[in-house]
Amino acid sequence: MNAAIYPGSFDPMTLGHLDIIKRAARMFDDLTVSVLDNKAKNALFSVEERVSILKEATKDLDNVTVDSFNGLLIDYARQKGVHISVRGLRAITDFEYELQTAQTNRMLSKGALDTVFLTTSLEYAYLSSSSVKEIAAFEGDISQCVPGFVAELVYEKMREKKL
């Protein structure tokens, strides 16, 4: 079985993430999209909320499952018996960090976990979860950045935060 994990913060999931998920789902028999529970990052959505957004967005993709994890990716991947991590690359700015992470994971896992990079579709090259949050904080239009139902949830969260 050709399986992969797509790990990330997904706070929130954007159309750029969804594009990578759809393309990776065509390459692997089984794709697990997994939300990293990173307490160090001050997230807008809880891990449970991020998982539920990803589940809704991928409900029509039969070979995609959504999960969450904490700790090291290599330990999580070993538990699941998966040897490939998928990551998206937007610009050269992503490259340095992603290269370092991929090499560290290969070293730590003694070669058991390798990383496959998918380059962003050009229309999403500018997109990031942090820019979505920044635009929404000023009530800007995020309809081109996230699915409609996610946009509603982001605006709702922003309103809650301001109260």
Residues that bind ligand ADP (CB under 6 A): 8-10, 14, 16-17, 20, 87-88, 90, 94, 120, 124, 127-129
Give the torsion through C-alpha atoms of 160, 17, 73, 51, to 10 deg. 40
Catalytic residue among 34, 85, 109, 129: 129
Q: Which two tokens stand for residue 138?
A: 């000023």
Catalytic-residue membership of 41: yes
Catalytic residue among 78, 90, 106, 157: 90
Catalytic residue among 9, 17, 85, 109: 17
Which residues, in sequence order, are CB contacts of 10 under 8 Å at separation 6+?
A: 17, 33, 35, 50, 53, 54, 129
For the CB of residue 28, give the shortest distance to ligand ADP in the complex, in Å: 16
For the CB of residue 19, give the shortest distance to ligand ADP in the complex, in Å: 6
Catalytic-residue membership of 17: yes
